[in-house]
Amino acid sequence: MKARSIVRSSRILCAVSAGAALVVAALASCSESGSATSPTTPDASPEATVETGASDAGSDAGTLIAKCTGDEARCLRGVVRAKGFSAALTEGAVTAWPQFPFGRVTPISSATLEADGSFAISGIPDGEHVFLSLSSLTFAGSGTSDAAWLLGPYVVPASREPLTLEPTPFFVQALQATGGDAGGLGWSLATLEKKAGGGADEGATVGIDLQGGSTPMPFGPTPFGISAYFVGFRGDAGAQPPAQASFQVHATGGTLGADKLQAAVAMTTPKCVPEITSPADNATVTMGQQLTVEWKADARCDYAYVEIVDDTGASPAIAGSLTGLGPSDTKVTVPASTLTTAGAHRVRLVMATATCDVMGCGFHAVQHERVIDVQ
């Protein structure tokens, strides 16, 4: 079971307003004004743990073809067993990331699946925010999927039994935020593979369970540049469903036939506290020049990003966004090309947690803002 290639770009799932984005091999940023942002972080643990989704390979551990090399405490090893597909998984790839792959994050390493579906990625640096992505999954007679599945975060180094990763046809993402000028559920997005694999199932009925009822998630273009099942919540205060510990999303019809798939998207409340230290609130900034944004480090979240919101128009507009920031980053330089309009702008620092398993990712973000006057 050797993957022909590892997909480097494909489906991109981005967070609203300043948010999360899952891709086959790298997350790309995108922005939309008027809503909250997100992704996730658990407490540090003495052993490698995925917050949701992966189970131990158990008695199969000694027979897996893929083996760790070097320090086993810095190796993530396991087996991929597709679940809920009608065709057999024949190929695929697993990629390890040093942090949540949002924006320009360089992967640690990738491994193709062995004949028994096993994989091993060695030499993983110490970290509390390591993620695994599954991509290039190929099913017998159906071709290669362009979808991706993300799992994590893991803590490394660690000593544990190999993982069993069981991707299903249904992968859901949801973003919620607390703090700042936005709160509650911002959006939910779902991709659904055909039951035989090899491509998207666009004919299903998908909905998210909210406040005692089901809200439809129709298939079509999304604000993130892909077509998927999607619903967004934005606008007047109180229009967003309240933040909660998890959300249920379900799918019926299409190639599922009589089957019903349901995913529970878990939300991990961020323990980090974003705090911008520079620029000062109400600082005067020169138009057309670079701006350095600094903040206090807080490793309790999985990723961060900075965006500049232009408030000079009739409605807020995103002037620029800087992504790919990790928990240890404390400074970015906003390009001169971002500040091209005089007037009030908001500098927004977003820190987020991402709780991801084979059924989906829950993103929960908190933010801190400073107002600047561009002249």
Question: Do residues 145 and 237 both lie within one domain?
Answer: no
Q: Are 241 and 336 in contact (CB under 8 A)?
A: no
Q: What is the mean pLDDT of residues 275-299?
A: 94
The reported pLDDT for the residue numbered 53 is 35
Entry field: residues in the chain: 375
What CATH number is associated with residue 100?
Answer: 2.60.40
Does the residue 93 lie in any domain? yes
Give the torsion through C-alpha atoms of 60, 66, 71, 73, to 10 deg.
-40
Closest CA to 137 of 97, 193, 96: 193
The reported pLDDT for the residue numbered 147 is 84
* Per-residue pLDDT tens digits for 131-149: 999 999 999 988 888 888 9
What CATH number is associated with residue 312?
Answer: 2.60.40.10
Does the residue 312 lie in any domain? yes
Burial category of 260 from C-beta neighbours within 10 Å (exposed 0-12, middle 13-18, buried 19 and up) = exposed
Q: Would you say residue 34 has pLDDT above 80?
A: no
Q: Which of 214, 244, 266 is the last residue of a domain?
A: 266
**CA dihedral sign of residues 221, 225, 229, 234:** negative
Q: Are 114 and 94 in contact (CB under 8 A)?
A: no
Q: Which residues pair with 289 in a beta bridge?
A: none
Query: Any idea which residue has 């509390």 for tokens?
Result: 128
For the chain, the average pLDDT equals 80
The reported pLDDT for the residue numbered 223 is 85
* Per-residue pLDDT tens digits for 321-344: 888 888 888 999 999 988 888 999
The reported pLDDT for the residue numbered 40 is 28
Range of the domain at 194: 170-266
Question: Do residues 70 and 146 both lie within one domain?
Answer: yes
Radius of gyration of the chain from Cα atoms? 21
Does the residue 293 lie in any domain? yes
The reported pLDDT for the residue numbered 316 is 67
Q: Which of 266, 292, 326 is the last residue of a domain?
A: 266
Domain count, the chain: 3
pTM assigned to the model: 0.79
The most confident of the ranges 18-32, 81-95, 236-250 is: 81-95
Does the residue 39 lie in any domain? yes
* Per-residue pLDDT tens digits for 100-121: 988 778 999 999 999 999 999 9
Question: Do residues 161 and 68 both lie within one domain?
Answer: yes
Does the residue 357 lie in any domain? yes
DSSP letter, residue 335: -
- Tokens representing 238 are 């109180």
Q: Are 27 and 42 in contact (CB under 8 A)?
A: no
Does the residue 5 lie in any domain? no
Q: Would you say residue 90 has pLDDT above 80?
A: yes
Q: What angle do CA 167, 172, 173 make, to 5 degrees?
A: 125
Question: Do residues 185 and 262 both lie within one domain?
Answer: yes
Q: Which helix (H) or strand (E) holds 174?
A: strand 170-178
Question: Do residues 288 and 347 both lie within one domain?
Answer: yes
Question: Do residues 281 and 345 both lie within one domain?
Answer: yes
Question: Do residues 33 and 113 both lie within one domain?
Answer: yes
Question: Do residues 257 and 297 both lie within one domain?
Answer: no
Amino acid identity, residue 170?
F
The reported pLDDT for the residue numbered 88 is 94
Q: What angle do CA 219, 221, 224 make, to 5 degrees?
A: 120
Q: Would you say residue 39 has pLDDT above 60?
A: no
Question: Do residues 85 and 143 both lie within one domain?
Answer: yes
Question: Do residues 334 and 362 both lie within one domain?
Answer: yes
Can you say how many angstroms the Cα of residue 24 is from the centroid of all Cα atoms in its chain? 11
How far apart CA 52 and CA 40 sit, in angstroms, is 12
Amino acid identity, residue 297?
A
Question: Do residues 300 and 210 both lie within one domain?
Answer: no
Does the residue 79 lie in any domain? yes
Q: Would you say residue 10 has pLDDT above 80?
A: no
Does the residue 7 lie in any domain? no
DSSP output for 287-308 = TTS-EEEEE---TTSSEEEEEE
How far apart CA 123 and CA 363 sit, in angstroms, is 28
| Range name among 90-94, 192-196, 237-241, 250-254 with the lowest pLDDT average | 237-241
* Per-residue pLDDT tens digits for 219-271: 999 988 889 999 998 654 456 888 888 999 999 999 998 889 999 898 988 88
Question: Do residues 22 and 143 both lie within one domain?
Answer: yes
Residues with Cβ within 8 Å of 176's Cβ and at least 6 positions away in sequence, in order, are 36, 38, 184, 185, 186, 243, 244, 267, 362, 363, 364, 365
Q: Which of 266, 286, 319 is the last residue of a domain?
A: 266
Q: Would you say residue 21 has pLDDT above 60?
A: no
